[in-house]
Structure formats: C-alpha cells, structure tokens
Structure 1
Amino acid sequence: MLTALARLADTACVVVAQDRATQRRREPIGPGALRQVRRCIALASELRLPLVTVIDTPGAALSREAEEGGLAGEIARCLSDLLRLPSPTVSLLLGEGAGGAALALLPADRVVAAEHSWLAPLPPEGASAILHGGDISFAPELAAAQGVAVARLQEAGVVDLIVPESPDVATFSRDLVRAVSAALAEAADEPWSLRAPRRAQRYRRGQ
C-alpha cells in the first residue's frame, strides 16, 4: 500500500493506493496492508480531510497465513469504515480490480475509472478455473457475463465517470487528477446528512 497526504488541484486530501508492481514482485495484499488502509481512513476522519482510494490489484493473499491473520475480517472492517467515514470520498479504479482487496477500497461517494480498468469479486480466470476444472480459457466469456468492464459498471451504477486513457502518460495523469478533483468537489458540496444515507444505500443494493 502507498499512503500520502496530497493536494489534488486545490484540494488537500489523504490518498491510499494499491501498488500493483510491489504486489507482483513481493507479496499480495494481506491483513496488515488492510490495517494500514484503516489507519488512513481514521486519519482522514481525524483531520477532516477528503479521502481518495486508488484500486489496482490482482487480489488479496490466498494463503493460510493471511486467513489466520484475519484477512476476511479486515476486508469487512475496511468496508464498514469507508461507509461510515464523514469525509467526502472518491475511489479511483485505475487498473485491475480483483477480489476482496479491490472491494475493500471501493465504497465512496464517487467512483472514477480509467477506460480499460475492471472490477470483479472473483477474477475471470479464477471463475473459469472453478467452473471448468482448472481450464482458464473461458475467462473472456465469463468476464463478459460478470460485467467487469467499466462501461458495464457504469450502466450498473458502480462507476460514475470514465476517463479515456491517453497514450501520453502526462496527459492521462492530468486527466485523472482533474476527474478525481472534480468528483471530490461534487461530494464536498453535499452535506454528510445527505451523503451518508446515499452512500449506504448505493452499496446495500450491491452497486
């Protein structure tokens, strides 16, 4: 996990992000990483700052140690903490969004997504392996059935705004910052008395 106090445009905020490269080189997200997320949520609440979460993960650790360390409980507590956080919140779906590690950072007032990002409780390859005896060749078919692409997620009400992916990294980065900043401003314009029930209702519906 990467955490920071940051400024997006003119808005100071707390940012917590999943470092995909580190996950692949070293180890996937475990309960300790999610406890770090919860400390950032608490910090945003204490400082009365908006919170931005960045989702980009191939999934949480699949190990006996992670389960015994309380992984499932930490995912649940992250979800609960995000739903109750009074600060304006924006979730940025940047790339892969696989499994509980992605869902743990999702609940927010606004969700912004990069054009080719995706989100699924179970990766299509995993679903294919489970349903077809280890064969992952059915992953594209299952991805379509699951509706993991951002266009489908927007139709379902999970994603609010899709940001086109420019081949120029600097342009794409600026576009993301503008989109997240605008989403934060929209959320901040609404009082907590309105955002709280709306956020809860949105995710209670499974959206």
Structure 2
Amino acid sequence: MSASLALFGILGALLVGAVSPGPSFVLVSRIAAKFSRMDGLSAAAGMGLGGAIFATLALLGLTAILTQVEGLYLALRVFGGLYLVYLGIRTWRGASDPIDIPDSTTVPPASTLRSFAIGLVTQLSNPKTAVVYASIFAALLPPSAPLWLLLVLPPLVFTLEASWYAIVALAFSAQGPRSVYLRSKSWIDRVAGSVIGALGARLISETFLSRN
C-alpha cells in the first residue's frame, strides 16, 4: 500500500469512529446548546487536540506499551470511567438549574478555555480511543512509512476530529436546536447525564470483568 493510500485509509477509519455517537458527541452538543457557539467550538478544538495526542502516541509506539503493561492500562480505564461518571452526575444534578443563554457569540475567555479543557480531558479520559488509534495505525501504516507521512498525520487528525465536532457545535448552537434545548433542558440534561454516566460505568465494569 502506498503512503498516500495509507493516509486516506487511516483518516477514513478515524472519521468513521469520530462520527459514531458517544460521550464526546453528547458533550460537545450540550456545551454548544447550553452556553454558546464559541464554547462549542472550543470543546471541538479540545477534542481535536486529544485526537492529535493519541495519534502522536500511536506513532511513537507508546500505546503498545500501554496495552502490555496491564496494571497501567486498567488504571487508566478505571480513571476514564470514573471521569465520565462524574460528568454524568454533574450533568444530571444541574438539569433543573436555570441558565441564561447569551445573545452574542462572544463569551469571556475563561469560559471558552474551560470548554476547551473539558473537551480535551473527555477525549483523553478514554484509553480505548488510544487502542483504536494504535490498532488502525498498526493495520494501515506502511512498515517503512516516509517521514512526511509521520509528520502530517497528527495535524491532519486534529483537523479531522476538530472539524467534525465543530460541525456538531455549529448545528447545536443554532437558534432552532438551542430553543429546543431551552424548552426541554431538564429531561435532555438528565438523558445526557444518564448516557455519559452509563458509558463510564460500562467502561469500569468491562475493566474489572476483563480481569476475570
């Protein structure tokens, strides 16, 4: 397989994974609808950076170490699960809190920075994503990949992940979806919190079950 075909194959496989519904989609859509377009785009950028970090780790072979050192991998899975459960509980508990949606898309820098950090930590809190990246790279990356391919992969992964979640953020920060969210905030937040928390609990349970 040529380097160009490998590049398109890797990006295509990662795009399929990115668009699959999961905690990242729920989180970005909720941030965009609840706060502002800039908050949603900041969270999308955080997701993109997390993807680029996973791509870099996969290229360096560190994810292979992660899967071989069982204790470290299990600990990271439990940490990721606990973080998702924490996010789910916070979302559920704040479901009935009233919110003020700003009319302008301009928000204080601290707010966008916080949204960026939440997106980044959410992406990095799932070690299964690291294994997916490592598996795709191992399957599709040529054994003697040219230097240009290794250099362009992380920024292209960032662009792919951030672009998809930016589309999600733009869609859910539009007036229509935002109005729906405001009218039904309580039950939407409870559903979102339940989904995120359930995914975290499932990650933890799978971790302990895999040890038996």
**Fold shared by both chains (TM-score > 0.5):** no
* TM-score (norm: length of structure 2): 0.28
Counting strand residues as a fraction of each chain, which structure ranks higher?
Answer: 1
Counting helix residues as a fraction of each chain, which structure ranks higher?
Answer: 2
Greater Rg over alpha carbons, structure: 2
**Greater RCO, 1 or 2 (C-alpha within 8 Å, sep 6+):** 2
